[in-house]
Amino acid sequence: MAKAPVLTPRAEDFPRWYQDLINKAELADNGPVRGTMVIRPYGYGLWERMQQEMDARIKDAGAQNAYFPLFIPQSYLTREAEHVEGFAPELAVVTHGGGKELDEPVVVRPTSETIINDYFSKWVQSYRDLPLLINQWANVVRWEMRPRVFLRTSEFLWQEGHTAHATYEDARDYAARIHRDVYADFMINVLGIDVVLGRKTAKERFAGAINTLTLEGMMGDGKALQMGTSHELGTNFAKAFNTQYLSKEGKQELVWQTSWGVSTRMVGGLIMSHGDDSGLRVPPRLAAVQVVVVAIKGDEAVAKAREVGDRLKAAGLRVQVDDRIDTPFGRRAVDWELKGVPVRVEIGPRDLEAGTAMLARRIPGGKEPVSLDALAGLLPALLEEDQALLLKQSRERRESRTSDVATLAEAAEAAVAGGWARIPWADLGPEGEAKLAEQAVSVRCLVAEDGSVPDADDAPGTVAIVARAY
């Protein structure tokens, strides 16, 4: 009798495969309140590595970490009309505390533009206080009607950056710097996802922004996922919160602002971009565990596995030793396949006799015997090969499933069939965008003909990227 597959095949039911993988790889579980999630240690380890990589890049861009309250007075949100309108359906509002009705309801943080601006207005007095570059790592709550673990949850983890600048140009350039040098660099070079950088249409723009820059990734089923955004806020929040500075010329001026964020949604993007029918495939540069050294059976194999693990750690690799010889080897091998650890080094009695280990590579697949003495010198280069392969596969999938089209009907057909379409924005426009929305198809972003980010929606030669999205 054939053994049942551990996961539902992707081609058979992609959403079911996604949920199966999250459960079987022990990444997360559903929380007790609808739309919430419990992130399990292995899943949280992925998020921690994302945090570490992102935090270093954010600090290199000059921002400092801070923390602002979870509870925001409801009146703060009403100060910026577009902002409150955009978030109103998703708000969680607290009306009682300590057994009493509150004098003013408080909103559980959906994003922090309003409360941070209240403090920016106190902290910024002079041009010498600018630019003010703040980031926070926090949780946010948005009451999600159609939850899906990691992709859309009522509570999720993220970073949100907020900055104030003396001029429009400074704010514009900083938003673009975050978009390009922080987010795109991380997603392409660490996550191994070949994201498209573009600008959102007016319809898709962040509530209260004058421009939103986005990074869109194609998932394994051809749908798009918005991986992160960077917003130019103009002076909208500065006007609402009276955030001004005294210029060098002695005039009171409004600050120009940005905000930008990525979230645990990236874990979902990682799964759907790189996962296969055997489980997750974690890019080596991201992996909390790059190499697992597995003792197959016997005390001698356990001792050698620990010795090899120490040697690989000394070589700068992130290593875990699996010496649970009371658990069948086959079960452990399947578990590590599910978790997507890039390299598995298997050591058993026969390997000890030969002075070798069996090297299993998760990303390209395949096994081969390797000298134990050669491992530390061999693995770093193999891990870099595997990192490059994931990015190559991501790029090839996007390019092979993206069509250049000339009509709205062709764009919708390509998206419904599980791909992306490129169509001149001048031929589509807001009217065509609205018609696509009736078929659950959206304009993911606008790009220039050469793939760069256009300076304006109506810039000559602007192309719309059209797809179905998560």
Q: Is 327 helix (H, G, I), strand (E, B) or coil?
A: coil
Detail the DSSP E strand segments found in 334-449.
343-347, 356-361, 367-371, 402-404, 420-424, 442-447
Residue that is last in its domain, among 361, 378, 395: 378
Q: Do the domain assignments include residue 414? A: yes
Q: Do the domain assignments include residue 425? A: yes
Q: Are 187 and 227 in contact (CB under 8 A)?
A: yes
Cα dihedral value 287, 290, 295, 296, nearest 10? 80
Cis peptide before 342 (omega within 30 of 0): no
User: H or E stretch including 120?
Assistant: helix 113-123
Query: In three state form, how does the secondary structure of 203-246 look?
Result: CCCCCCCCEEEEEEEECCCCCEEEEEEEEEEECHHHHHHCCEEE
Q: Which one, of 15, 285, 279, lies nearest residue 147 by Cα?
A: 15
Helix-helix angle 41-60:265-274, to 10 degrees: 110
Could you tell me if 323 and 227 lie in one domain?
A: no
Q: From the first residue on, what is the mean pLDDT of each consecutive set of 10 residues in the chain (470 residues)?
A: 73 97 97 96 98 98 98 90 77 95 96 94 98 98 92 97 98 98 98 98 94 98 98 95 96 98 98 98 98 97 97 98 97 97 97 95 97 96 98 98 97 96 97 97 97 94 97
Could you tell me if 225 and 97 lie in one domain?
A: yes
Q: In the structure encoding, which two tokens stand for residue 399, read together? A: 């390019």
Q: In the structure encoding, which two tokens stand for residue 338, read together? A: 């599910």
Paired residues of 443 in beta bridges: 466
Cα dihedral value 410, 412, 414, 415, nearest 10? 160
pLDDT at position 89: 83
- Domain count for the chain: 3
Q: Do the domain assignments include residue 223? A: yes
- CA–CA distance, 6 with 279 (Å, rounded to integer): 9
Could you tell me if 270 and 295 lie in one domain?
A: no
pLDDT at position 85: 78
Q: In the structure encoding, which two tokens stand for residue 124, read together? A: 């910024």
State the CATH number of the domain containing residue 99: 3.30.930.10
DSSP state of 336: H
Could you tell me if 366 and 422 lie in one domain?
A: no
- CA–CA distance, 172 with 258 (Å, rounded to integer): 8
Could you tell me if 98 and 247 lie in one domain?
A: yes
Residues near 303 by Cβ (< 8 Å), separated by ≥ 6? none
Q: Do the domain assignments include residue 259? A: yes
DSSP state of 468: -
Could you tell me if 133 and 264 lie in one domain?
A: yes
pLDDT at position 1: 39
Residues near 324 by Cβ (< 8 Å), separated by ≥ 6? 332
State the CATH number of the domain containing residue 310: 3.40.50.800
Amino acid letter, 118:
D
Could you tell me if 328 and 257 lie in one domain?
A: no
Q: Are strands 93-97 and 71-73 parallel, antiparallel or unpaired?
A: unpaired
Beta carbons within 10 angstroms of residue 445's beta carbon: 26
pLDDT at position 4: 55
Q: Which residue has the tokens 């392409």?
A: 188
Q: Do the domain assignments include residue 285? A: no
Could you tell me if 49 and 168 lie in one domain?
A: yes
Residue that is last in its domain, among 335, 362, 378: 378
Could you tell me if 348 and 213 lie in one domain?
A: no
Q: In the structure encoding, which two tokens stand for residue 396, read together? A: 């090839």
Q: What share of the chain is helix, strand, coil (3-state, %, to 5)?
A: 40, 30, 35
C-alpha 222: how far from its chain's center?
17
Q: Are 425 and 446 in contact (CB under 8 A)?
A: yes
Could you tell me if 197 and 84 lie in one domain?
A: yes
Could you tell me if 363 and 414 lie in one domain?
A: no
pLDDT at position 6: 86
Paired residues of 293 in beta bridges: 321, 345
Q: Do the domain assignments include residue 388? A: no
Q: Do the domain assignments include residue 5? A: no
Q: Which one, of 71, 44, 19, lies nearest residue 264 by Cα?
A: 44
pLDDT at position 2: 43
C-alpha 127: how far from its chain's center?
34
Look at the chain and count its residues: 470
Residues near 342 by Cβ (< 8 Å), separated by ≥ 6? 281, 282, 283, 284, 287, 290, 291, 361, 362, 363, 383, 386
Cα dihedral value 68, 57, 342, 274, nearest 10? 80
Domain that holds residue 174: 14-274
Q: Are 244 and 253 in contact (CB under 8 A)?
A: yes
- CA–CA distance, 21 with 253 (Å, rounded to integer): 53
Could you tell me if 206 and 71 lie in one domain?
A: yes
Beta carbons within 10 angstroms of residue 411's beta carbon: 28
Q: Do the domain assignments include residue 3? A: no
Q: Which residue has the tokens 């949850």?
A: 153
